[in-house]
């Protein structure tokens, strides 16, 4: 006697795909986009060489280079681009770092530091804060105690 049982696979849990791209610092995204645009521009230049347009004067060459640069920027900034941005971002800013807390830490570390008062050590070995002011380009630096 043969029994046919339907084969089931357990229901797949629908995992929510989080857009980890929103947790990539804008400066890092811009760098990846610029690299992709540079590659696209190089690719367009090489394609132009195969088109057989060798009899261009310098003004035509200049205009053509501007056109290629703009086309490359458009290719890189379009949705998805050529895919090179994603590869670069996966290498320099992996998925494990694409969290809100990591982004906040990156932004905090990227902020310029506030300059504090200058520190001077006197002859006794005590450390005393000083303010250094530049009165003019020709005058030496004057050090005053606070």
What pLDDT score was predicted for residue 133?
A: 46
Residue 95 lies in a domain: yes
What pLDDT score was predicted for residue 58?
A: 87
CB burial of 115-141 (b: ≥16 within 10 Å; e: otherwise) equals: eeeeeeeeeeeeeeeeeeeeeeeeeee
Number of domains in the chain: 1
Euclidean distance between CA atoms 29 and 31, whole angstroms: 5
Q: Cα 51 to the chain's mean position, in Å?
A: 34
- Reading the chain (146 residues) residue by residue, the pLDDT tens digits are 666 655 655 555 544 555 667 889 999 999 999 999 999 999 998 988 888 777 788 898 899 889 999 999 998 888 778 889 999 999 998 888 888 898 888 888 888 877 666 556 556 656 555 544 444 444 555 555 55
What pLDDT score was predicted for residue 55?
A: 79
Residue 1 lies in a domain: no
What pLDDT score was predicted for residue 82?
A: 86
Residue 10 lies in a domain: no
Residue 27 lies in a domain: yes
Residue 133 lies in a domain: no
What pLDDT score was predicted for residue 15?
A: 47
Residue 94 lies in a domain: yes
Q: Cα 132 to the chain's mean position, in Å?
A: 36
What pLDDT score was predicted for residue 125?
A: 59
Domain holding 64, by residue range, is 20-110
Residue 45 lies in a domain: yes
Residue 29 lies in a domain: yes
């Amino acid at each position: 006697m043969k029994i046919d049982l339907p084969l089931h696979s357990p229901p797949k849990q629908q995992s929510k795909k989080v857009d980890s791209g929103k947790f990539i610092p804008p400066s890092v995204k811009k760098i990846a986009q610029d690299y992709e645009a540079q590659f696209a521009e190089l690719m367009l230049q090489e394609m132009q060489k195969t088109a057989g347009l060798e009899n261009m004067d310098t003004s035509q060459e200049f205009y053509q280079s501007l056109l290629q640069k703009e086309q490359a920027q458009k290719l890189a900034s379009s949705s998805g681009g050529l895919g090179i941005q994603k590869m670069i971002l996966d290498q320099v800013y992996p998925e494990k770092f694409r969290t809100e807390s990591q982004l906040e830490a990156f932004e905090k570390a990227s902020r310029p530091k506030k300059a504090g008062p200058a520190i001077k050590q006197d002859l006794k070995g005590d450390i005393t804060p000083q303010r250094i002011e530049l009165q003019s380009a020709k005058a030496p630096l004057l050090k005053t105690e606070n």
